[in-house]
Amino acid sequence: HVLAVADPHRAAGEADGAAARVTSVMPGKVVELAVAAGSAVREGDLLAVIEAMKVQFRITAPRDGVIAALHCAVGDLIEDGAELMVFATDTD
């Protein structure tokens, strides 16, 4: 048997050099953004905090890279699977 670790923040079939799209894993409210467009991050760094029913969920960087764009702001209500931000491609 072969097991693979599924990263919920990485799109299926995404190549290593491709832009990573960071998505929400639950509906809720954005209560914190720890990065801005242009921020360099390391794998595991805090990107954002989502709150639902007084439970907070930390969104962390799936890989090292640079944030190319944010698609949310503090206070935004988001749905499950909403795109929160995008990493720059290796060629950006």
Between the CA of residue 91 and those of 18, 20, 66, what are the distances in Å? Answer: 9, 13, 11
Of residues 4 and 78, which shows the higher confidence score?
78
Task: Transcribe 20-80 into DSSP letters.
Answer: PEEE-SS-EEEEEE---TT-EE-TT-EEEEEEETTEEEEEE-SSSEEEEEE---TT-EE-T
| Whole-prediction pTM | 0.77
- Give the type of residue at 88: A
To the nearest whole percent, how much of the chain has pLDDT over 70? 76
Question: In order of start, what are the domains of the chain with their CATH numbers?
Answer: 21-87 (2.40.50.100)
The amino acid sitting at 15 is A
